Structure 1
Amino acid sequence: MSAPPPRPLPPILRDKHPEAASAFTPQSLLREARRQRRIPDAPVPEVCILDPDGDVVRHLRAAGRARPVEGWACYHSAMDRFEQGGRAFGIVGCAVGAPYAVLVAEQMFASGCRLLISITSSGQITALRPPPYFILIERALRDEGTSYHYLPAGDFAQADPALVASVGAGLAEVGEPIERGATWTTDAPYRETAEAIAAARAAGLLAVEMEAAALYAFAAARRRAVLCFAHVTNRMGQAGDFEKGEADGAPTSLALAQAVAEAWERSRAPRPG
């Protein structure tokens, strides 16, 4: 008997050509948005934050610390500017999920961003301690679709090891321990079955979130500086979950972003001699 014909690849793995240039670029979208809306061509802050829950943005606005970034020309989001530790940051709230997070990230870097920090709520897979706590995501399981448009197929997307190393010492300045390890990035949070959770735990994954694998694939393909943190806030919706701490975790998230930005800046400074 002849062997059955090979099964075709699913569409997510077909005709991607991640090494090829895109016909549609963030630069072209931003150009047209500026033209249509009469937005000045001015750079955004060098360090930007993705705040998928929006709690940090709401905290900054309520405290009178946030102002709109006039040069932000994205059709789909608003960017605020604020000061922390004497440094200007740009922040976009509620960019939930891999496709939206990378859409915004592309436009941030096309607008002058040089370091992007993502701080996203996540569900506990491996119990390191009671939530809430933070994890520096070193690699993320690619159980979403966006990363396959940026990198060839593979199980994980990795953080840049040099970038991780450059901020390591600075994380001690946050005032609480920051765990490190791997997470599971999913596109379907309400399909986190007991079987999938057990498999993730057996693979050594620490938490589940919705953006990191895609952001790291984008960063690797475009050679951009991106660091993703999981703010473990829940145990899959058990009673008493989703408590993030003081002001919904905003002060600690801001301290984390400041420590990362300062360590990144130190790593780029020329060494004497």
Structure 2
Amino acid sequence: MSDARLPPLLRDKDRDAPSAFTPESLLREARRQKRAESVAVPEICLLDPDGDIVRALCAGGLARRHTGWVCYHTEMWVFDLEGHEIGVVGCAVGGAFAVLVAEEMFASGCHLLISVTSSGQITAQGAPPYFIVIDRAWRDEGTSYHYLPPSDWSEAPAPLLERLGGAFEDGPRVLTGPTWTTDAPFRETEAAIAAARARGILAVEMEAAALYAFATARMRDVICLAHVTNQMGTIEGDFEKGEANGSEDALSVVARIAARLGRGAPGISTRQAP
């Protein structure tokens, strides 16, 4: 198919070319406007699209605002988790927003990004809530196509998945498997759900395909988790996440990931973009 016949999303893409607009330039100008010093973020950062983790930490007096985080669209909070300092941004929902924040996090000193997003059950794996370490995500969104050529899946960094083997044997229930990333949650039709189930997809969410495409293209360490909390409103009493809106279980899982993948973990190597 000629370029002229492609949809705009797939036209005029030179994915190997540097961007004219960079997170470094945005942060530079934001610091100038806000008269803020350049202060690195923690090496481990967390995306909390639902915002429940941030709200629980702040309500318990366990988080402090990162005064050097100058993103125009979000606030970063810093907290301590089993010996790891972690920076968390809440309510960055959807692939485009998540990757915008991820770019700025890595430009500010992040070395490992963990995303924990609520998701809807596609293939039953028992009653929610439970977690899925996403090993690949079906690319039914737009952001990933700005980072990688068209394909069906975005893949998690294989070395990170390998290091997480056996990390979740005691604690909240954690599976590993594929998800479907959509950017139109209210267009999850019966036909689309059936097709996803036929592919062996376990859950639907809104960020992983974009974040994994960014991770691959920019050589960054990113791990995405789906917190399966619902059956898309098809039953009464849906969307229950557990204690403290699921934040306690989510932080338990994040702590296990940080222990395995944090820079102080034995043998860990950190990938960096050229």
SS in structure 2 at match of 1:253 = helix
State the shift of 1:269 in Å: 5.4
SS in structure 2 at match of 1:169 = coil
Partner of 1:33: 30
In structure 2, distance between residues paired with 1:132 and 1:213: 22
In structure 2, distance between residues paired with 1:75 and 1:199: 38
Does the aligned pair in 1 maintain the 2:172–2:252 contact within 8 Å? no
Partner of 1:189: 185
Please give the residue correspondences for 1:86-165 in structure 2 after superposition, counting only pairs within 5 Å: 86-165=83-162
* TM-score normalized by the length of structure 2: 0.94
Partner of 2:230: 234
User: Residues 34-81 of structure 1: CA distance to partner in whole angstroms, max 9, x if unpaired?
Assistant: 011011101000000000000000000000001100111111100000
> Would the alpha carbon gap of residues 151 and 5 (structure 1) be closer, same or farther in structure 2, given more than 3 Å must change?
closer
In structure 2, distance between residues paired with 1:225 and 1:168: 16
SS in structure 1 at match of 2:79 = strand
In structure 1, distance between residues paired with 2:121 and 2:268: 37
In structure 1, distance between residues paired with 2:255 and 2:224: 14
Partner of 1:216: 212
State the shift of 1:172 in Å: 2.6
Count of paired positions: 266
In structure 2, distance between residues paired with 1:198 and 1:139: 18
What value does the CA root-mean-square deviation take over the aligned residues?
1.6
Report the identity percentage: 60
In structure 2, distance between residues paired with 1:73 and 1:44: 11
SS in structure 2 at match of 1:205 = coil
Does the aligned pair in 1 maintain the 2:172–2:253 contact within 8 Å? no
In structure 2, distance between residues paired with 1:87 and 1:5: 50
SS in structure 2 at match of 1:100 = helix
State the shift of 1:170 in Å: 2.2
In structure 2, distance between residues paired with 1:169 and 1:32: 44
State the shift of 1:21 in Å: 0.5
Larger radius of gyration: 1
State the shift of 1:6 in Å: 9.4
State the shift of 1:253 in Å: 0.7
Q: Point out where structure 1 has 5 or more consecutive residues left out of the alignment.
A: none
